[in-house]
Amino acid sequence: MKKNVKMFFVVLTTLVIVAGLTFAGCDNFANDLLVNDAADADNARNVTVTSNRTGTTNGWDWEYWQSSSGVRNGTMTVNNNGTFSARWEASAGTRGNFLARVGKRFNNQNHSQVGQITVTYTASNFNPGNRNNYLSVYGWVMGSPLIEYYIVESWGDYRPPGASSAGTFNGYDLYRTTVNGPHVQGSGNFTQYWAVRQSKRTSGTIDVSAIFNEWNRRWGGMNSNLREVMLKVEGWEAGSNGTYNITAYTLRYGNTTLGGSGSTTTPPANNNPPANNNPPANNNPPASNNGVTTVTAQSMSKGGQYTGNISSPFNGVRLYANDDRISYNQYFANNRHTFTVRGRSTNNNTAQVQLRVNGSAVGTLSFAGTTVRDQSITVSHNQGGRTVSVELRCINDNNTWDVDIQHLEIRAAN
């Protein structure tokens, strides 16, 4: 069924200026980026830190920072699959500031060059305490204006940024504030972009690129170099004691996946199989003999004339017509796997999706009716030891149905 699109653009020009804002981004918080601690490369082991420090673990970049006074018993443990835990206590009568964050630094690339970015996480044993604590995706965009951004998922008593919303997008209130204080390039005026959930949550998938694009549509500035994308926990001011345990964390950007089911996949930069047909360095292949990998539809590359994201009945992708498709690159340790697609038809007719591995059709999955369900197929693809494309393509469309896809799971088969 061809998609009928009507685009309504509402240009919101509300600019929220918060002079002298003392939220963590303009005050003690920005100082964490000015600390000149040596970075550690703990490439294959879990790391526990209790003092200001940056590092890299199994492809994940991380940072621990606390203010010079006002914080007691702060600690962060980073696991080699990107999950992490943190706890701290803020002393009474102080404005102590604590943060722990894990993600990826991109240096000299804008977010379009990085590719589609999504974060999927679960925060278990979640206790943000009182006062000013929150969980967010965080980073900086190094342009003019200099932008510090927050995508806030949950918080304690205080809901940031304490300003009037400039609009909403996909369940988030949007804000733009201006701050004068320390920042990554020194000190002075800089801009903050905020997306704060209208209701708290402690697990889910964040379409980071979609929020970036919405900010850029409203206010511009997001096409400059993206410094990082980090999942961050933070607390500040007296009484902001808290504990966080991020028990599941997947960061996807372009054709690269960090995390997931305890594994890291980093395809070669040119998206072709490595010359020696071995997985990339430091790779723990997710589709190995006993591994399972889950890839969200929204994190895959989109092709075809009509393919687009959806937010209901789940965050996913809709294929509207023949040859609409989504794809990504996957390393396979062996030659036989079970592929499970979660999806549905948009009406009572049966929708069909063709599975392709390295360009070859290996099977078809059918979805009858609007109930969301898992459909599986086990195939021998003979791509063991290689990184190749995996594609889901709409076929046999007769203009009477569309198909929604939430995610793809792959597991080894006997």
Residues identified as active-site: 148, 234
> In whole angstroms, how far apart are CA 413 and each of 292, 387, 396?
11, 18, 28
CA distance 169 to 175: 11
> Read out DSSP for 175-229?
EEEEEEEEETTEEEEEEEEEEEESS--SEEEEEHHHHHHHHHHHH--TTSEE-EE
What's the rounded Cα separation, in Å, for the pair 194 and 53?
A: 26
290 to 284, 357, 411: CA distances (angstroms): 11, 20, 7
φ and ψ of 64, to 5 deg: -120, 135
Residue 23's nearest CA partner among 185, 138, 107 is 138
| Cα angle 113, 358, 408; round to 5 | 70
End-to-end Cα separation, the chain, in angstroms = 38
CA angle 239, 243, 245 (to 5 degrees): 160
Report which secondary-structure segment, H or E, holds 15.
Answer: none
List all residues 6 or more positions away from 341 whose beta carbon is below 8 Å from its beta carbon.
Answer: 353, 355, 365, 374, 375, 376, 392, 405, 407, 408, 409
Tokens of 298: 């929204």
Peptide bond into 160 cis (omega under 30): no
Tokens of 337: 């796997």
Q: Are 319 and 353 in contact (CB under 8 A)?
A: yes
- Buried b / exposed e along 355-391 (16+ C-beta atoms within 10 A): bbbbeeebeebebeeeeeeebeeebebebebbbbbbb
Can you read off the two tokens belonging to residue 30? 């920005």
Q: How far apart are CA 267 and CA 289, in angstroms?
A: 19
